[in-house]
Structure 1
Amino acid sequence: MEFPIIDVSKQSVSQFATEGSKAKAMRSVAWYRVVRPTLVLGTWLLAALYIRWCLANASEEELSLNAFMPGIMGIGIVALAMILWTFGRQMDAMSTNRVRRMPQTSEAQAPQTTHEIPEGDAGRCLVAYHDADGMISHVMSVREFEREAA
């Protein structure tokens, strides 16, 4: 499947049928709209019931703050490491000033492409304009771009 998973769950049976048989399309729609959400919700519900059972059957000593401190400290250490890693990567990216630039091409060399826009999905196809530094200056949908070009 060529679409991101969040878009696939919104597809109709006819859209799935373009990639395969009608039976496969019905199975795909059933999986993405019924079975998978039910499995996810069921997993969370079972986890909540298990935690409730554990807390209901725990002794006073097991429910004390001292019993939870090693777990809380472990989660805190992992969260702190992730935060420091994120800041370190951002500072590294800013210090090395890594900007990917597209090669300059003339209008004659630029390839002419046509974009197929899936029906009802026009807001997800975008054209980005870049300034002289290679940063995005503004963005518009492909439909707006095609209207301006016409």
Structure 2
Amino acid sequence: MEYPIIDVSKQSVAQFATDSSKAKAVRSVAWYRFVRPTLVLGTWALAALYIRWCLANASEEELSLDAFMPGIAGIAIVVLAMVLWTFGRQMDAMNAHRVRRMPQTSEVSQPHTTHEIPEGDAGRCLVAYHDDDGMISHVTSVPEFERQAA
């Protein structure tokens, strides 16, 4: 599927049927609209019931702040790491637009833009497509790339 999951769940049976058979289209619509959301909501409901049961059967000692501190500290460390990672990525993205100076060399070498694919190794070579921000949008194998180019 080429669409994000949120867009796929909005598609009708007729839209799915353009890519596959009618039976598979009905199964896809049933999965994305009914079964998958039911599984997700059911998992959250079971988690809430389990947490409620744990809190109802816990002793006063288990419900004290001292008992929760290791978990709270662990969560805080993970949140802090994620915040720092996000700021670091944003700073790196801002620096990516800067022109970086390369050391001057006496020889001017042309980059090798084409490569030979070994005969038995073609299945392990990949072609990566990039979006405007330089991030990888999707990856295909060389045989798939050659089929698309032909």
Q: Give the TM-score range, shorter chain.
A: 0.5 to 0.7
**DSSP 3-state at the match of 2:80:** helix
C-alpha distance in 2 between matches for 1:49 and 1:57: 12
Displacement of 1:85: 1.6
Q: CA deviation at 1:97?
A: 2.9
Matched, 1:16 2:16: yes
Q: Say whether 1:77 aligns with 2:77.
A: yes
Gaps of 5+ in 2: 100-150
Partner residue, 2:7: 7
Task: Give the 4+ runs in structure 1 shifted more than 6 A.
Answer: none
Shift of 1:21: 1.2
TM-score, normalized by length of structure 1? 0.62
SS in structure 2 opposite 1:92? helix
State the aligned residue count.
99
* 1:1-150 alignment, distance < 5 Å: 1-98=1-98
SS in 1 for 2:76: helix
Normalising by structure 2, we get a TM-score of 0.62
AA in 1 matched with 2:36: R
Structure 1: gaps spanning 5 or more residues? 100-150
Report the RMSD for the aligned CA atoms in angstroms.
1.5
Q: CA deviation at 1:98?
A: 4.7
In 2, distance between residues paired with 1:16 and 1:75? Answer: 41
Cα gap change, 1:96 to 1:24, in 2 (>3 Å): closer
Q: Deviations over 1:21-72 (max 9, x none)?
A: 1111111110000000000000000000000000000000000000000000
Q: Specify the SS of the correspondent of 1:31.
A: helix
Query: How far off its partner does 1:96 sit?
Result: 4.5
- Opposite residue 74 of structure 2, the aligned amino acid is G
Q: Once the two structures are aligned, what percentage of the paired residues are identical?
A: 85
Alpha-carbon distance in structure 2 between the residues aligned to 1:16 and 1:52: 41
Q: Relative to structure 2, which stretch is displaced further, 82-91 or 66-75? A: 82-91
Shift of the 30–53 alpha-carbon distance from structure 1 to 2, 3 Å rule, reads: same
